[in-house]
């Protein structure tokens, strides 16, 4: 990862380069900010920049042996530390999932935490950094750097450290060896142990501006400018969110009605309004064919549409974030989502998500959901 691979955040790249040129690189650095920004990419690019043996003023070279090792996630003096799910309730360290993590970084460098448990084939669990990972870091930090000036720990989501792991980490940060650097990226730094938070140098990473998201969607996803502009307006500076919406929009254009989120949402609401039980049965089976991850994403999508419709119904202008086709439907539909039923509707969709995540039978869960929607729409 080079600085030039990362869209935007130019002020932060300048600050990192200045730290190096002035010889004041802190031994623990935290990139903090909302999800869907390039925090972990910045940490990775900074590590590569520090290790590069043919660095130019503004970026790592991308070609020296050190850069090549970084780019293939195999740099000898770099350790990746990240939340995991315990394997068979046994002590589990990050390295046990190294291959999955490397794939995850390659598939989506903006690192959407919600997708990580799915990647680990365990969407119901919340990954954490356990005490054995703290011990592992202590063990590895005893050795001096092999091939470079610094050993670097790249830690993704330090706020997911369990307390005993955080205490080990605290010890490492309080008594660092001279050649160790900790580069951490946090989606929610308020959840970090205050004793750690106060001992690290912090860099705030801001949300992307709409035009930056738009440019990214055009250059990296090949979206048409109007579509990119539409999506950027909805994504609120979160690239992961933008990519997710782009994926839904893409499916919606691919003519397969079964994967068209907006169409499926509209169908549910129309059929529920008409109390067409037989067609709702077919609808449940169609949605169930999406498989678990697809169903969960669709249910999330429905929750967002309900929220947007409720806001629209309240008549608060400027707070809505919808694409044009979504808005066209909602202009008429919004009046059905009101203060009498909105919380109950959310509850029903959350319950369905929970049951699907827990491996319940999706056809039954979705049909039950459809029946609840019939009753709630009349309120």
Helices (H), the chain: 10-21, 39-51, 65-71, 98-107, 116-119, 131-141, 163-174, 194-197, 210-221, 225-235, 239-252, 261-274, 277-288, 291-314, 324-333, 342-357, 362-377
Nearer to Zn ion, 52 or 155 (CB): 52
Cα angle, residue 2 at apex, residues 95 and 5 outer, rounded to 5°: 105
Nearer to Zn ion, 61 or 266 (CB): 61
Adjacency order of strands within the sheet including 78-81: 78-81, 151-156, 180-186, 28-32, 201-204
Residue pair 345/306 in contact (Cβ under 8 Å)? The answer is: yes
Is 303 near Zn ion (CB under 5 A)?
no
Nearer to Zn ion, 53 or 201 (CB): 53
Site residues for Zn ion, window 66-85 (CB under 5 A)?
67
Nearer to Zn ion, 15 or 63 (CB): 63
Please name the residues in contact with 134: beta carbons below 8 A apart, sequence gap of 6 or more.
161, 164, 165, 166, 167, 168, 169
Is 263 near Zn ion (CB under 5 A)?
no
Q: Pick the piece of the chain touching Zn ion (CB under 5 A) from 23-31, 56-64, 146-154, 268-276.
A: 56-64
Q: Pick the piece of the chain touching Zn ion (CB under 5 A) from 54-62, 78-86, 195-203, 253-261.
A: 54-62
The binder of Zn ion chosen from 29, 30, 47, 52 (CB under 5 A): 52
Q: Nearest distance from residue 30's CB to Zn ion, in Å? A: 25
Nearer to Zn ion, 59 or 132 (CB): 59
Nearer to Zn ion, 61 or 170 (CB): 61
Q: Nearest distance from residue 50's CB to Zn ion, in Å? A: 10
Residue pair 192/38 in contact (Cβ under 8 Å)? The answer is: no
The binder of Zn ion chosen from 19, 20, 25, 64 (CB under 5 A): 64
The binder of Zn ion chosen from 19, 61, 102, 218 (CB under 5 A): 61
Is 60 near Zn ion (CB under 5 A)?
yes
Distance in angstroms between the alpha carbons of the first and the last residue of the chain? 53
The residues that touch Zn ion, with contacts defined as CB under 5 A, are 52, 54, 60-61, 64, 67
């Amino acid at each position: 990862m080079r600085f030039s691979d990362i869209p935007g955040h130019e002020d932060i790249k300048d600050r990192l380069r200045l730290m190096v040129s002035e010889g004041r690189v802190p031994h623990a650095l935290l990139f903090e900010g909302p999800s869907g920004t390039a925090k972990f990419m910045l940490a990775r690019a900074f590590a590569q920049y520090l290790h590069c043996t043919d660095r130019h003023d503004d970026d790592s070279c991308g070609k020296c042996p050190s850069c090549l090792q970084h780019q293939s996630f195999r740099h000898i003096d770099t350790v990746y530390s990240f939340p995991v799910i315990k394997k068979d309730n046994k002590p589990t360290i990050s390295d046990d999932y190294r291959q999955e993590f490397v794939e995850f970084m390659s598939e989506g460098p903006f690192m959407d935490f919600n997708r990580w448990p799915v990647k680990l084939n365990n969407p119901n669990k919340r990954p954490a950094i356990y005490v054995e990972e703290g011990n592992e870091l202590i063990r590895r930090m005893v050795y001096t750097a092999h091939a470079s000036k610094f050993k670097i720990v790249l830690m993704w989501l330090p706020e997911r450290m369990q307390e005993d792991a955080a205490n080990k980490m605290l010890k490492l940060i309080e008594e660092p060896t001279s050649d160790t650097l900790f580069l951490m990226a946090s989606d929610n730094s308020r959840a970090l142990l205050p004793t750690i938070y106060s001992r690290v140098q912090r860099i705030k990473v801001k949300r992307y501006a709409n035009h930056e998201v738009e440019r990214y969607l055009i250059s990296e996803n090949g979206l048409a400018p109007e579509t990119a502009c539409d999506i950027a307006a909805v994504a609120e500076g979160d690239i992961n969110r933008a990519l997710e919406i782009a994926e839904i929009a893409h499916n919606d254009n691919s003519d397969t009605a079964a994967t068209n989120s907006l169409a499926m949402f509209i169908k549910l609401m129309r059929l529920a309004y008409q109390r067409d039980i037989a067609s709702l049965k077919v609808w449940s089976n169609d949605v169930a064919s999406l498989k678990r991850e697809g169903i969960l994403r669709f249910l999330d999508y429905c929750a967002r549409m309900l929220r947007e419709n409720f806001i629209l119904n309240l008549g608060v202008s400027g707070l809505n974030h919808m694409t044009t086709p979504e808005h066209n439907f909602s202009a008429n539909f919004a009046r059905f989502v009101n203060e009498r039923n909105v919380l109950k509707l959310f509850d029903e969709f959350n319950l369905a998500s929970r049951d699907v995540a827990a491996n319940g039978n999706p056809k039954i869960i979705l049909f039950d959901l459809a029946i609840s929607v019939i009753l709630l729409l009349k309120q």
